[in-house]
Structure 1
Amino acid sequence: MSRILAIDYGIKRTGIAVTDELQIIASGLTTIASDTAIAFLKNYFSKENVAKVLIGEPKQMNGQPSESTPVIEKFVADFTKAFPEMKMERVDERFTSKMAFQTMIDSGLSKKQRQNKALVDEIAATILLQDYLTRKMI
């Protein structure tokens, strides 16, 4: 089988998570500088079999697009151009960053460790992916 990869794209940093080959478990992969995302993905796709990519869609509480939507829409356009054959799905990413931060607290990370925004982004991508897997199984 192949993996599903999730992207929590941000203005500065991008969190990336991936499933195992059986698409059962979501794990954080890394956090990268957002301006390197396409190059990173080209390299990753050349080494791993990825069936689908999930890209977070930021929304406000009322369902309207967030302030970062134009930046993410540009990334989606660049992604589609770079990987026209790759299946891509947009998924609601509301609350993933808050959930990631709470996960860090719950797992006993120190205040200094919780200030690591790269880790927050990676955990947010993992939550996004795990939520997708859970909904897919229902």
Structure 2
Amino acid sequence: MGRILAIDYGTKRIGLAVTDEMQMIAFGLTTVDTSAIFTYLTNYFKKEKVSVIVVGEPKQMDNSASESEKFIQPFVEKLKVTYPNMDVVRHDERFTSKMAFQTMIDGGLKKKQRKNKALIDEISATIILQSYLERTGI
């Protein structure tokens, strides 16, 4: 059984989260510059067995696609072509950035630390992954 990797896609940075090998616990992995993501993933996949990639799917309140979907869709297609042996699935990511920010407040992070957008992206990826695990019952 491989890990599950979650991606919070952004045009500048990508937040990453991953499960343990038993696919029970989601935890933040890192944040990577978008331009370097495929190099990072290729190196990571050489070290760790990953069976599923979960990519956040931003939606509007009416369930329609967010404006950022036009950037995410080509990325998802490239993931599928580059890593054909892995399942690539989408998962609703509404409110994850707000939830990540609230998590930082609840965790007692100081105001300066809460301005760290890379940390928000990593926490958002973790929330996406945890939500995916809960929805699928894994």
Q: TM-score interval w.r.t. the shorter chain?
A: over 0.9
CA distance in 2, matches of 1:135, 1:78: 25
Question: How far did residue 53 of structure 1 move?
Answer: 0.6
Structure 1 gap segments, 5+ residues each? none
The residue number in structure 2 matching 1:121 is: 121
CA distance in 1, matches of 2:33, 2:61: 27
Question: How far did residue 136 of structure 1 move?
Answer: 2.2
CA distance in 1, matches of 2:76, 2:135: 23
Q: Which runs of 4+ in 1 moved over 3 A?
A: none
The residue number in structure 1 matching 2:137 is: 137
The residue number in structure 2 matching 1:30 is: 30
Deviating more after overlay: 13-22 vs 61-70: 61-70
Aligned residues: 138
SS at 1:62 equivalent: coil
- Aligned positions of 1:75-90 closer than 5 A: 75-90=75-90
> Given that residues 79 and 88 in structure 2 are in contact (C-alpha distance below 8 angstroms), is that contact kept between their aligned partners in structure 1?
no
Question: How far did residue 30 of structure 1 move?
Answer: 0.1
Structure 2 gap segments, 5+ residues each? none
Question: How far did residue 137 of structure 1 move?
Answer: 2.2
CA distance in 2, matches of 1:2, 1:90: 18
The residue number in structure 1 matching 2:102 is: 102
Alpha-carbon deviations, 1:54-78, whole Å to 9, x = none?
A: 0011111111111111110111111
Alpha-carbon deviations, 1:42-95, whole Å to 9, x = none?
A: 111111010101001111111111111111011111111111111111001111
Q: Please, what TM-score do these two structures have when normalized by structure 2? A: 0.96
Aligned-residue identity in percent: 60
Question: How far did residue 19 of structure 1 move?
Answer: 0.3
- Aligned positions of 1:33-112 closer than 5 A: 33-112=33-112
Alpha-carbon deviations, 1:11-50, whole Å to 9, x = none?
A: 1110000000011110000001011111111111111010
CA distance in 2, matches of 1:3, 1:77: 21
Structure 2 counterpart of 1:90, one-letter code: R
SS at 1:84 equivalent: coil
The residue number in structure 2 matching 1:2 is: 2
1:21 has 2:21 as partner: yes
CA distance in 2, matches of 1:81, 1:136: 25
CA distance in 1, matches of 2:42, 2:8: 17
